[in-house]
Every structure is written in structure tokens, then in C-alpha cells.
Amino acid sequence: MTDRLTKMSFLVNTGTDLCVYPHSRFRERWTQTSYELFVPSGFTLHTYGCINLGLDFGLRREFSWELFVADLTGPIIGSDIFCF
């Protein structure tokens, strides 16, 4: 899905529990937290806290959602967003 506000493409993965945003998209350094995300391949992703983003996917309204900031290459929409 593409966010109309940022023009950024998000991978939609209903097998992922949380929405995640890439740490590499920020210029400033963030402090790594003790919270870790585990992926099926056995890797661990470090996290750097959360951000609240306004999102517009063309679903009749914009909404705000909290995403974890982590070491990954692209943003992911997880299953938690479908519970609002």
C-alpha cells in the first residue's frame, strides 16, 4: 500500500503482529531499546522506540498509527492496524 501523504510504499503482512518503520529513514540517531523483534528466519531486529504517523491509504479517511522503529529496509503494516 502507498501512503498518499509521504508517497512511501508499505508492505502489508498480516502475519506480522506489529507495524514497523525503518530506522534508516531518520537522519538523527536514536538510542536502541531493549525490546527486540523476532523474525521467522531466526534473526532479531533491534528497536529504537515508536513513532506516531499520520497515514492515508485512500480508505475514506486519514488516521494516526503507532509504528515501532527497527532495523529493517522498508516499512511494514502488520495485523495490529486491522484491529482499530
Interval 15-46: pLDDT, tens: 888 999 999 998 888 899 999 999 888 899 99
What is the domain extent for residue 32? 11-73
Task: List, in sequence order, every residue forming a beta bridge with 36; answer none if it has no partner.
Answer: 46
Residue 16 lies in a domain: yes
Residues in the chain: 84
Residue 22 lies in a domain: yes
Contact of 44 with 77, CB cutoff 8 Å: no
Q: Which amino acid is at 56?
A: D
How many domains does one find in the chain? 1
Residue 41 lies in a domain: yes
- Average pLDDT on 4-11 reads 91
- Average pLDDT on 48-56 reads 94
Residue 82 lies in a domain: no
Residue 78 lies in a domain: no
- 80 three-class SS: helix
Tell me which of 5-9, 18-22, 43-47, 80-84 is least confident: 80-84
**Over 90: is that where the pLDDT of 63 sits?**
no
Q: Give the cell for residue 3.
A: 501512503
End-to-end CA distance of the chain: 17
Identify the pLDDT of residue 84. Answer: 61
